[in-house]
């Protein structure tokens, strides 16, 4: 199965059907798993599952990003400001502002990038 087919299958699984967001991406030891739900010219929606201690080092994006914490707990640094987030919380990472993500414990987030 190609990566494009996998993406289409995940999108198809969500169209018109209620899904458990947390169940769409499983955890993997010492890894970060990502599942693209939607990839359009106007933006993307991706579900990430971080094993404890996994991180995305500081970087920037040309797009605003909304992070919806689905499971667990993480430590974010956005523009030099430390933020701890837990399941059920939402936070915005503005375009062009340096940010990083570290999983304090196993952690899932839905990342919505607006172009």
Per-residue confidence (pLDDT) for residue 19, from 0 to 100: 78
Write down the pTM of the prediction: 0.85
Region for residue 91 given its phi and psi (left: phi exceeds 0; alpha: psi -120 to 50; beta: otherwise) = beta
Which of 49, 98, 95 has the alpha carbon at shortest distance from 76? 98
Enumerate the domain spans of the chain.
3-114
Tell whether the model's pLDDT for residue 89 goes beyond 90: yes
In tens, the pLDDT along 5-48 reads 455 456 666 677 777 888 889 999 999 999 999 999 999 999 99
Tell whether the model's pLDDT for residue 1 goes beyond 50: no
In tens, the pLDDT along 45-72 reads 999 999 999 999 999 999 999 999 999 9
Coil, strand or helix: which one is 57?
strand
Per-residue confidence (pLDDT) for residue 33, from 0 to 100: 95
Per-residue confidence (pLDDT) for residue 14, from 0 to 100: 65
Coil, strand or helix: which one is 61?
coil
Q: Work out the number of other CB atoms within 10 angstroms of the CB of residue 68.
A: 18
Per-residue confidence (pLDDT) for residue 12, from 0 to 100: 66
Per-residue confidence (pLDDT) for residue 5, from 0 to 100: 44
Whole-angstrom Cα distance, residue 31 to residue 50? 6
| CATH architecture of structural domain 3-114 | Sandwich (2.60)
Per-residue confidence (pLDDT) for residue 27, from 0 to 100: 96
Joined tokens for residue 108:
């899932």
Which of 101, 91, 111, 88 has the alpha carbon at shortest distance from 53? 101
């Amino acid at each position: 199965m190609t990566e494009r087919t996998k993406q289409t299958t995940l999108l198809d699984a969500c169209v018109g059907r209620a899904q458990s967001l947390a169940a769409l991406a499983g955890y993997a030891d010492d890894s970060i798993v990502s599942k693209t739900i939607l990839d359009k010219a106007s933006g993307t929606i991706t579900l990430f599952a971080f094993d404890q201690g996994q991180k995305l080092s500081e970087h920037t994006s040309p797009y605003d990003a909304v992070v919806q914490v689905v499971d667990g707990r993480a430590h974010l640094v956005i523009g030099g400001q430390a933020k701890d987030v837990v399941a059920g919380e939402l936070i915005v990472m503005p375009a062009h502002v340096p940010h990083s993500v570290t999983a304090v414990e196993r952690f899932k987030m839905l990342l919505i990038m607006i172009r």
